[in-house]
Chain A
């Protein structure tokens, strides 16, 4: 349900203790790329103590652990599994890696699709236990393909489409890759709209200043909310499983989607 997922470096106290200030629906505390190799232990202890002392009801907290082929993988999970977090974001995700993770935790999993091989296995990944969303990692994906990223983003169109479509088919969220140009609000807005138009439900970001725009783009619009209200109202009135509204057929899946829109609207005060 989260519209925004903000990465926060896991060993930086000034960011950690403000994680709820940035108005992101979800936070991804990062143990991977933003933490030095020699400080991985430091991050684990910092987060363990922080989340033991402070709890957050309004924000979904995930931890991006190190990949299964790193020496930190087991410690990352074992030292945080008892904390009040929603789940783990798994880099370099593969079916096997997700299985490994499921063996040591029962928390929600957000695999990062960041390689051509994992992209080809998107459907199998969706089928794994505890997978609640897919996160697209375009940086590593394009690096592996040996191609350059552009603002237009044509080179990742196919990857984005597969991820959005597959996630939707398996009824989980699709989280778009971060927009890496800092202080470019116009470009961010266009990029986020493009992702939404492909069916992404959310977008991740690496800078707190991007959250407001992302939330705006991925919130249901006033029209969508009004339409959803009409659908729910009519479904309560007719008491039939399927009915017609404005000449269109409204059946159960559309009613369920309308309910979700209103849930989102309520949660985010729209």
Chain B
């Protein structure tokens, strides 16, 4: 079951998450060379803040800034939580 948040508009990113028994992060970005590591760090930190260890995260990035990546991931997590209620 996949949950998404965000969009493929410029400066946004589309986050898709699904449950998993390990941590898998996939990033496709228009600025992957310059910011790939940074994007991964934001995703990892956001998961940590939300006490999530095992999850499948796919990030399709169109040059989103850190606060946007964090927000879209948090939104997807919230929506997944609501779905599971």
Contact = CB atoms under 8 A, between A and B. Distances in A.
A and B: direct contact (Cβ < 8 Å)? yes
A209 interface: no
Interface string A36-78: 0000011001101110011000000000000000000000000
A12 B68 CA distance: 10
A197 interface: no
Which of A12, A17, A46 counts the most B-chain CB atoms under 10 A from its CB? A46
Contacts of A53: 66-67
B41 interface: no
A238 interface: no
Given A13-B65, A50-B67, A42 B72 contact: yes
A14 B9 contact: yes
B79 A14 contact: no
A50 B79 CA distance: 20
Nearest to B10: A14
B40 interface: no
Contacts of B72: 42, 46
A12 B9 contact: yes
A45 B9 contact: no
A17 B78 contact: no
A207 B27 CA distance: 33
Nearest to A18: B11
Interface of B: 5-6, 9-12, 64-68, 70-72, 74-75, 78-79
Closest 4 CB pairs of A and B: A14-B11, A46-B71, A49-B67, A13-B68
22 contacts: A12-B9, A12-B12, A13-B9, A13-B11, A13-B12, A13-B68, A14-B9, A14-B12, A41-B79, A42-B5, A42-B72, A42-B75, A45-B71, A45-B74, A45-B75, A46-B67, A46-B71, A48-B71, A49-B68, A50-B71, A53-B66, A53-B67
